[in-house]
Amino acid sequence: MIPAGEYRPNAETANWSLAAATGWTVAAIAIGDLGFLFPASMCFALWLQCRQRLVVDGHSVHRIGIRAVVLDLATAEVVCRGSRWWRELFFLGQSLQLRDADGHRLYLESWLWDAPTRSAFVEAIAGGAHS
């Protein structure tokens, strides 16, 4: 069972994405090229994704933020185990996907969620699926 509480994405990812967004924005202003605002917006979108959180309460997990969902851990199964962060992020690889009996899906991207958090969810679901 996953301990009840709140889980947040990797803070380092949030810091670097906000720093990169700021850098691209400053470059766009300094150089006068609005084309630099596109990578700035992509970095800012990643920062927004880092603002989400998971709240585990008993047998359910609530993902608050982008792609909000409530997942029943008692009936959840692992649909896809995911891959390395660079494959997921740069080559559109499959991320860790969990699905409950009602069809709700929870995605745990490896560039956001640290390995111990992802492993805890997989182990809890694997252990609870046959008990």
pTM of the model: 0.74
Same domain, 109 and 61: yes
Same domain, 69 and 116: yes
Q: Is the distance from CB of 86 to CB of 78 less than 8 angstroms?
A: no
pLDDT score of 110: 84
Given a cut of 70, whether residue 4 has pLDDT beyond it is: yes
Same domain, 14 and 34: yes
Give the tens place of pLDDT for each residue, 61-93.
Answer: 999 987 889 999 889 998 888 777 777 767 767
* Angle between helix 37-50 and helix 11-31 axes, rounded to 10 deg: 160
Does residue 65 fall inside a structural domain?
A: yes
pLDDT score of 10: 84
pLDDT score of 128: 61
Same domain, 58 and 115: yes
Looking at the chain, the whole-number percentage of residues with pLDDT higher than 70 is: 94
Beta bridge partners of 97: 80, 107
Given a cut of 90, whether residue 16 has pLDDT beyond it is: yes
Same domain, 65 and 128: yes
Given a cut of 70, whether residue 129 has pLDDT beyond it is: no
How far apart (Å, rounded) are the C-alpha atoms in residues 52 and 81? 21
Same domain, 30 and 77: no
Give all strands (DSSP E) within 37-100, no chain letters.
Answer: 53-57, 60-64, 69-72, 77-81, 96-99
Same domain, 37 and 61: no
Same domain, 45 and 73: no
Domain interval for residue 70: 52-131
Q: Is the distance from CB of 122 to CB of 96 less than 8 angstroms?
A: yes
Higher pLDDT among residues 97 and 26, named by residue: 26
Does residue 1 fall inside a structural domain?
A: no
Same domain, 84 and 112: yes
How far apart (Å, rounded) are the C-alpha atoms in residues 54 and 107? 11
Given a cut of 90, whether residue 54 has pLDDT beyond it is: yes
Same domain, 59 and 112: yes
Q: Other C-beta atoms within 10 Å of 48: how many?
A: 15
Looking at the chain, the whole-number percentage of residues with pLDDT higher than 90 is: 47
Same domain, 71 and 128: yes
Please tell me the total count of domains within the chain. 2
Same domain, 90 and 32: no
Given a cut of 50, whether residue 130 has pLDDT beyond it is: no
Question: Which region, left, alpha or beta, applies to residue 5 given φ > 0 means left and ψ of -120 to 50 means alpha?
Answer: left
